[in-house]
Amino acid sequence: MKITNFEQLPLSAPIQRALAEKGYTKPSQIQARAIPVLLKDRDLLACAQTGTGKTAAFALPLLHKLSQSNRKPFRRGVRHLVLTPTRELASQVAESFKVYGQYVEFQYGLVYGGVSEKPQIKQLFKGLDILVACPGRLIDLMEQGHVDLSQVETFILDEADRMLDMGFIRDIRKIEGKLPKERQTLLFSATMASEITKLGQAMLHRPEEIRIAPQGTTAEKINQSVCFIAKGAKQKYILELLKQHVEENPRELTLIFTRTKHGAKHLAKKFNQEGLIADSIHGNKSQNAREKTLERYRQGEIDILVATDVAARGIDVKNITLVINFDLPMESDAYVHRIGRTARAGESGQAISFCSLEEVALLRQVERLIKKPVPVLRDQPYHEQDIEDLHLSDRPVKKPAQGGGNRQRRGKPSNNSGNHSRSNFRGKSGGNSGSQSNSRANKANKSNRTQRNRNR
Ligand code: AMP
């Protein structure tokens, strides 16, 4: 049976009511296919394009189950656990549970680093139906005995490919080790490299697999283009572009990605000097400052947000109609996630990428991933035909040096997402034992990480 409206799905009345109030009538493809599978308690590996409603696809069946059950969470216990790679995404997912579950009685909590542990410990003490967490802080609290995961019924990895890559996999394994063997496990992502899929499959028991579009594809409604431009001309051009865009589209939001924290801060400052209303978010800002900025952006108080990849995944802000890659990302899947911040929920949007001579290798790897060329915007004052010619040629090109931008190597944890505040070198006994060797290791680890992430 083809599912064309929510009423065809066996979701309880409180959920249907919240959906109707939210104005959702038709389930998205991923929702129509995933919800029935999840209601049957099956494990699931789901891949769907950015902005196509993955959060509701896992949140609605969970809330349905909670609405049908009288079981109460036990002290420090968690019934359903959702892990996300960034704090911003964790808080957005928790907000979705709140909205979709407004007529369901349930306790939910949110755990991530960069803010005080105390309120989180208090929340956990009572026991939670749903916990949305970033891995680093969760492990800290787990090791201090504040949370008991032994009776988790559902384990969900949002942005699963990121969670299973080497930056997070040790943490995920540690958390998984505390979960009961018998549980439902769900992996959701927009991109999923095959080696990561294999890792994920090892966590799943006879899973269903749903792939709505081939992995790495970008939403059709994003109008993509690339500008071949000299590195030194980028700032001038972006200012011209933005001034025109803000003037013509005063109510629309623009999101700009840079490779480094310094770059994000510098650009936002420059925009302000030029009379544009802009701010930045990046790993050097405190969590509170990041959240405040994001909220002001959501409310339309800021027209332009300049961000590092902290904002690349999952962040759902209405009205972002233009995404600009001021720098191309070092990793091609980040491109798909970055531009996926526009054209959400069936809307359309525009994504412009700047490609300098040094970035040709990065553009080539993006096009390999998305399996199509990005259309060239030649009708711009800084067009560099030489760069385009190099791009089209067979000449081998090197990726820019890590030191020139992103120091994070694939496979290394990044503080960028802000949830690796926990030390990876903590002694086996856990906790803050304060032993000298541990503190030395902590220092060494911290300085390594600082070195790696200096620029983000
Ligand atoms: P997500 O991919 O979960 O971040 O969702 C992307 C956007 O789509 C969010 O703004 C949701 O509120 C919206 N959305 C999700 N499901 C639906 C639906 N069935 N109908 C309309 N909008 C939806």
Residue 215's pLDDT is 62
Quick one: which atom of ligand 1 is closest to the CA of 55? 3
CA of 15 to the centre of ligand 1 (A): 15
What's the rounded Cα separation, in Å, for the pair 436 and 312? 38
- Rounded to an integer, the average pLDDT of 268-276 is 98
Residue 349's pLDDT is 94
Task: pLDDT band for 271, please (50, 70, 90 cuts).
Answer: very high
What's the rounded Cα separation, in Å, for the pair 299 and 303? 10
Residue 237's pLDDT is 98
What's the rounded Cα separation, in Å, for the pair 303 and 112? 27
Q: Indicate whether residue 340 lines ligand 1 (CB < 6 A).
A: no
Q: Which of 45-76 are b and which e, b meaning 16 or more Cβ less than 10 Å from the residue's Cβ?
A: bbbbbbbbbbbbbbbbbbbbbbbeeeeebeeb
Please report the domains of the chain, with CATH numbers, ordered by start residue. Answer: 6-211 (3.40.50.300), 222-392 (3.40.50.300), 410-455 (no CATH)
Alpha helical stretches, state H, 28-84: 29-39, 54-68
Residue 406's pLDDT is 37
Task: pLDDT band for 100, please (50, 70, 90 cuts).
Answer: very high
In the chain, % of residues over pLDDT 70:
87
Q: Indicate whether residue 155 lines ligand 1 (CB < 6 A).
A: no
The structure tokens listed for 283 are 């790993």
Rounded to a whole number of angstroms, the CA Rg of the chain reads 22
Q: Indicate whether residue 56 lines ligand 1 (CB < 6 A).
A: yes
Contact residues for 133 (Cβ-Cβ < 8 A; gap 6+) = 81, 82, 83, 84, 90, 110, 111, 112
What's the rounded Cα separation, in Å, for the pair 40 and 147? 28
Tabulate helix, strand, coil % of the chain (nearest 5): 45, 15, 40
Q: Strand 349-355 relative to strand 320-325: parallel, antiparallel, unpaired?
A: parallel
Answer whether 324's CB lies under 8 Å from 223's CB: no
pTM > 0.85: yes or no: no
Please report where in the chains the tokens 């994504």 appear, as a residue: 351
Contact residues for 455 (Cβ-Cβ < 8 A; gap 6+) = 259, 260, 261, 262, 403, 405, 406, 407
Q: Indicate whether residue 48 lines ligand 1 (CB < 6 A).
A: no
Identify the residue with better confidence: 431 or 448: 448
Contact residues for 7 (Cβ-Cβ < 8 A; gap 6+) = 16
Q: Indicate whether residue 28 lines ligand 1 (CB < 6 A).
A: yes
Task: pLDDT band for 344, please (50, 70, 90 cuts).
Answer: confident
Instruction: Indicate whether 408 pLDDT > 80.
Output: no
Q: How many CB atoms lie within 10 A of CB 3?
A: 16
- Rounded to an integer, the average pLDDT of 355-380 is 96
Residue 194's pLDDT is 78
Instruction: Indicate whether 402 pLDDT > 70.
Output: no
Q: Indicate whether residue 189 lines ligand 1 (CB < 6 A).
A: no
Contact residues for 70 (Cβ-Cβ < 8 A; gap 6+) = none
Please report where in the chains the tokens 């040094």 appear, as a residue: 358
pLDDT in tens, 45-67: 999 888 889 999 999 999 999 99
- Rounded to an integer, the average pLDDT of 283-296 is 92
Mean pLDDT of the chain: 87
Ligand 1 pocket, mutate which of 3, 16, 24 (most atoms under 8 A from CB): 24
Task: pLDDT band for 397, please (50, 70, 90 cuts).
Answer: very high
What's the rounded Cα separation, in Å, for the pair 157 and 452? 26
| Span of 219-223, 353-357, 445-449 with lowest mean pLDDT | 445-449
Residue 167's pLDDT is 83
pLDDT in tens, 421-447: 333 322 223 333 333 333 333 433 434
Number of helices followed by number of strands (H, E) in the chain: 16, 13
Residue 407's pLDDT is 36
CA of 48 to the centre of ligand 1 (A): 12
Residue 315's pLDDT is 83
